[in-house]
Structure 1
Amino acid sequence: MTDDEVLVFPASFAQRSMWLENEINPGRPTYHVLAALRLRGRLDTEALRRALNTVVDRHEALRTVFDLDEDGPVQIIGPAPELDVPVTDVARGDLEAAVTAEVTKPFDLYRGPLVRMRLLRTAPEEHVAVLVMHHIVTDGVSSALFVAELTACYGAYLRGEEPGLPPLEIQYADFTMWQHENLRGEKLSGLTRRWQRRLDGAPPLRLFTDRPYPAEPTFAGDTHTFTVPAPLVSRLDALARQERATAFMVFLAAFDVLLSRYSGQQDITVASPTAGRTRPELAGLIGFFVNPLLLRTDVSGEPTARELIGRVRNNCAEAFDDQEFPFESALELLRVQRRSTAGTPQVQAMLVLQNMPVPELRTPDLVIEPLRPDSKAASYELALDLEPDDETGYRAFLEYSSELFDAATVTEMAAEFVTILEGIAADPDAPVSTKPVDRQPMPWSEEPAQPAADVPYRAPQTPIELELHEMFCELLGLERIGVDDDFLDLGGDSLSLLQLRNRVRQEYGVEFPVRELFGRVDIDGLARRVLERLLAQDENGRSPQSSPNEEHP
């Protein structure tokens, strides 16, 4: 690529979903991926800046921004920006707040850059490097690769050498094109049928929360840290081997029981990420590959621990066989069957078991220690992250929505989880109790789904209705649509709603906030809103005010 060359490619399925989420809730820090390093010793900030820019220049994903064309979100890959590494002096007592402030700064997906680094200096030879990337260009594995390459480049520049990183066989855009070629036709249809069968009738998880669900969530969160002791882990590993299962499957079985006790439900669906690197040439590439799977478990009938692990094992094996199915497509299957509005969360809990070895980070005159600061944001109502530790067994991080749960409740949940694991290890042939805890469910803000009522056909009549009818038909692949027919009921999805918004903007020069479209959308109502905005433009002599995230061409 030359210095002024720009390449445009379709977004990957994961990027498309993340782009849409950002359009619905712009600037959410839950979409930010943080890597923090404590640096002790003599630091060469210029060598660090060069190392950062070398890694960004090496990986096209890190110099990518996004836009929307007629077919959907696209990657726009340009020359590498010249990034700086500012240094800020911070008192040790203010360090956590300073990290949080850096993590929560919004990214602009249209303009970039989508990676930044800041040094927080707490003493002359003590810094915390805060590396933040938007999730649309990275994931957990990629962040570890970034830190390893950053360290290698920094060491090389200190020695006066050029970094000896191995050449990349492909870039993220090559993976994207392969994914679009591979996931179509009968293969995609088969994956869709199998996941539709797995998820048919899966209810949303309604946890017993301490407070009602907010009408407008802020995604504020916190994290409770605890351990799963090493002796207990050894017994669980032995049980997993006996049952031809993995440690992850045992932990998932216990997490399902925990969620059942704190919801009163016995049909539990949990999201869990897979690396998404299904080809060997992707191993050293930075990008957004992770693809969560929806793992559904029936905990009813008072199964023994062995029986429950067997159910989880069989469900996981099937899901892993079909792990290429995009997470966004699985969520859309749930949304359609639940008749939810676009943008409504479909999964409330996640389980992550870390299995990547921690790279050894060494440079001359510098001791590097990875940190895990709390971003104070929650992607899910509950997310359990387990990391192996040679001394303690597993370090566990239970991230939770602080809008819904008190810290004391989550501490109780963590203790309950360990108790469930101890019971499984002590007597795998005893029934596992899913008796609900003594709590009352809080009111749920969304009404239960109702079957769609037959709407009498009314033909479009006004010029705006006729033009919108043509847009609806083209986007939905239909020939006739009544002005009272709901866009989503007709087969529209979140992405096609955004395409509709762009078509309306191009045709009429009016803007709609994304959230305004994520309810009921029909030709009659949309025509009225378009007309109202056109009249407002005439009266004011200018376009209605748009939000900063919606002013892009």
Structure 2
Amino acid sequence: MCCPINGFVLKKWPLTFNNKVDKKALSSQYEENTGTVSKNYADLEGIEKVWQEILCLSHVNDHQSFYECGGDSLALMKLGYKVSDYFNVELAPSDLFGELNLGTLKKIIANGGKQKINTDNDFGVSIEATVAQRNLFIQNKLNPKIPFPHSYLTFQVNGNLDLQCLEDALGEVIDTHEGLRTRFQMEKGKVFLKTVIKENCPIIEVSCETDDLNSELHKLSKSFDYSKVPLIRLTFIRLSNNKKYLHFEMPHIISDGESLKIIVQQVIRVYGGYKLSVQKQFRTFLKLAEIYRGSNQYKLDEEFWIMQLKKFDGFQRESIKAKSEDRFRGTHVVLNLKSSLAESVINFSEANKISKYKIFTLSLAILINRVYGESSVAIMSPVSNRFERSMADVVGLLSNVIPLFFNINPDQNIKCWIKDSFLHIDRSLKHQKYPFENIIKAWTSSDNKLDSLMKFFLGYHIHDEKYLLEKTELILHQPVRYYEDMPLSLAITDTGERFILRVSSNRHSLSSDQLNNVAQEYLSILGLITGRDLDLNLKMFDLISSDISLV
């Protein structure tokens, strides 16, 4: 007969957002109430089911490696979430990068998985990476030759540049920002940011044999070694037709859409003789984020997003599973909105006192309904996450992502749907600080597949059309990109003079011809929304059944 060694009274079962027992929270309550740390000797056969589900296997083999079974970086992240939820064990990168197999995984779980980390180092400032950075670090380790995800800004150069002066200006900007002097290192299972005192970044000069900028940029784009600084490249390109371009490139692990814009603006100011003031650093943002996680607002944000996830059924159409090496291969379309359509968007925005960002987002929701037949739609949307004014010029991966949910009912009045959708976007933006990694974890902990939430993406970016380096013009150019991991991703660049639309898809989801059709249909939907009188008693059916060719 077996008798329990410890026990305590449980006042209330801890539950996940879908009313299942939260095993991780239950384990934590046991440890808090009994003063013991439970070694997780859970039913390890359960991990076999997780292994089979993630890798789509009919049977398991303890000795076959994760990657031999068809695993990739996305599947690896799913495995990490599942193991954390079911067994209260965090998989370390050192465990993941080796020859991970089912037998090894069982031993890691049985041993509790965690080790004490020694953060002592002689390499300047050392800070533990965020969850988002850790995931990007893992992705880079698994796909070291793939330059994705990166941030880019490209400018056509009209006039002459003093490249040495430009290089000195970039060097001063790098000196100002710790984030630009940061490399990444793994120590006993955790990823750390290591900041050095000073680092130069020579400008790369390239003379090309062709005048095809997109092709030349594709050849020049290389992945970064995250263990070396600086994690930024500036290339001066001269095409065979003598057109000149400046191309800035950074890995997403230390940058977001705002960061590269900040860097360009500051380089231009320093080039013109301006002296930069002392800047706030990425570690300051991390401290503010830590304060937020202990605040009441964090709890309110968590409640909001859990409620949103409860209402969302998930996308019904399954994504086509790509081979690991093809997962990031993309198809892309880049075009400028015609002046008449751009004017229609601006007039609609001003007349109805709504942001252009909302108009572009709602148009994508309708596009998804028309193309994919989904009545319940989620769009991943990045937010700058610079929630303190002092953070406005901080360089680093500060941005967050929030899912925006829409329900499309053919019988609903268009005006009412647009009004309700705008209110929903406003409510969601009030809770934009809540970490997207937590939203993903909440979604997958309820046995939902990650790709039933993350299929569609829309980014809205505001950039200046041109800059002046003394008498030389830098004119924003939007090149085609060759990498994408989402089935459908849209990026709108608003320069104040024009709207640039980039539509992307991973290659196994949409072909180039299909993507062109999708781009044209999106423009048609924009025209239908902004060209309609919303006071008319029109139903959604009138909009979503209009005669536009579908994919």
Matches within 5 A, 1:6-21: 6-21=124-139
Amino acid at match of 1:259: I
> Which residue does the alignment assign to 2:419?
310
> Which residue does the alignment assign to 1:200?
310
Of 198, 217, 232 in structure 2, the residue corresponding to residue 115 of structure 1 is 232
Amino acid at match of 2:266: E
Matches within 5 A, 1:37-52: 37-52=155-170
Of 246, 253, 266 in structure 1, the residue corresponding to residue 375 of structure 2 is 266
Distance 2:509 2:477 in 1: 27
1:430 aligns with 2:541: no
Matches within 5 A, 1:280-359: 280-340=389-449, 346-354=453-461, 356-358=462-464
Amino acid at match of 1:110: S
> Cα distance, 1:364 vs. partner?
3.5
Counterpart secondary structure, 2:372: coil
Distance 1:142 1:7 in 2: 21
Distance 1:292 1:18 in 2: 15
Q: Aligned pair in 2 of structure 1 residues 363, 108: CA closer, same or farther (>3 Å)?
A: same
> Cα distance, 1:181 vs. partner?
2.5
Distance 2:263 2:327 in 1: 30
1:376 aligns with 2:482: yes
Distance 2:496 2:467 in 1: 18
Distance 1:33 1:153 in 2: 22
1:177 aligns with 2:287: yes
Distance 2:327 2:366 in 1: 28
Q: Aligned pair in 2 of structure 1 residues 127, 232: CA closer, same or farther (>3 Å)?
A: closer
Of 298, 302, 305 in structure 2, the residue corresponding to residue 188 of structure 1 is 298
> Which residue does the alignment assign to 2:501?
396
Of 230, 238, 246 in structure 1, the residue corresponding to residue 355 of structure 2 is 246
> Cα distance, 1:14 vs. partner?
4.0
Counterpart secondary structure, 2:148: helix
Counterpart secondary structure, 1:29: coil
Amino acid at match of 2:238: R
1:362 aligns with 2:459: no
Distance 2:336 2:167 in 1: 37
Of 247, 250, 258 in structure 2, the residue corresponding to residue 133 of structure 1 is 250
> Which residue does the alignment assign to 2:199?
81
1:252-307 residue CA offsets vs partner (Å, 9 max, x unmatched) = 22211110111111100001111111111111222212112100111125322212
Distance 1:240 1:95 in 2: 34
Amino acid at match of 2:256: D
1:164 aligns with 2:265: no
Distance 2:155 2:344 in 1: 34
Distance 1:226 1:376 in 2: 15
1:65 aligns with 2:183: yes
Report the aligned-residue RMSD: 3.0
CA contact (8 A) 2:385 2:399 kept: yes
CA contact (8 A) 1:66 1:75 kept: yes
1:500-522 residue CA offsets vs partner (Å, 9 max, x unmatched) = xxxxxxxxxxxxxxxxxxxxxxx
Distance 1:297 1:250 in 2: 13
Of 223, 234, 241 in structure 2, the residue corresponding to residue 106 of structure 1 is 223
How many pairs were matched up? 423
Counterpart secondary structure, 2:228: coil
> Which residue does the alignment assign to 2:50?
none
Distance 1:45 1:239 in 2: 44
Distance 2:399 2:425 in 1: 17
Counterpart secondary structure, 1:28: coil
Deviates more, 1:376-385 or 1:361-370: 361-370
Counterpart secondary structure, 1:200: helix
Q: Tell me, which stretches of 5 or more residues in structure 2 are unaligned?
A: 1-121
Distance 1:135 1:305 in 2: 38
Distance 2:231 2:532 in 1: 48
1:471-496 residue CA offsets vs partner (Å, 9 max, x unmatched) = xxxxxxxxxxxxxxxxxxxxxxxxxx
Q: Aligned pair in 2 of structure 1 residues 312, 57: CA closer, same or farther (>3 Å)?
A: same
Amino acid at match of 1:127: K
Of 420, 429, 436 in structure 1, the residue corresponding to residue 525 of structure 2 is 420
> Cα distance, 1:67 vs. partner?
2.7
> Cα distance, 1:26 vs. partner?
4.2
CA contact (8 A) 1:64 1:78 kept: yes
Distance 2:156 2:127 in 1: 37
Distance 1:90 1:384 in 2: 30
Counterpart secondary structure, 1:93: coil
Q: Aligned pair in 2 of structure 1 residues 102, 21: CA closer, same or farther (>3 Å)?
A: same
CA contact (8 A) 1:41 1:126 kept: no
Distance 1:71 1:208 in 2: 33
Q: How many percent of aligned residue pairs carry the same amino acid?
A: 18
1:15-61 residue CA offsets vs partner (Å, 9 max, x unmatched) = 34433443454453231111222224333222222122111111100
> Cα distance, 1:117 vs. partner?
2.0
CA contact (8 A) 1:61 1:137 kept: yes
Distance 1:294 1:360 in 2: 32
1:210-265 residue CA offsets vs partner (Å, 9 max, x unmatched) = xx442434311132234444444555555556666433223222211110111111
1:375-417 residue CA offsets vs partner (Å, 9 max, x unmatched) = 211142211122335565x332212222221222222222222
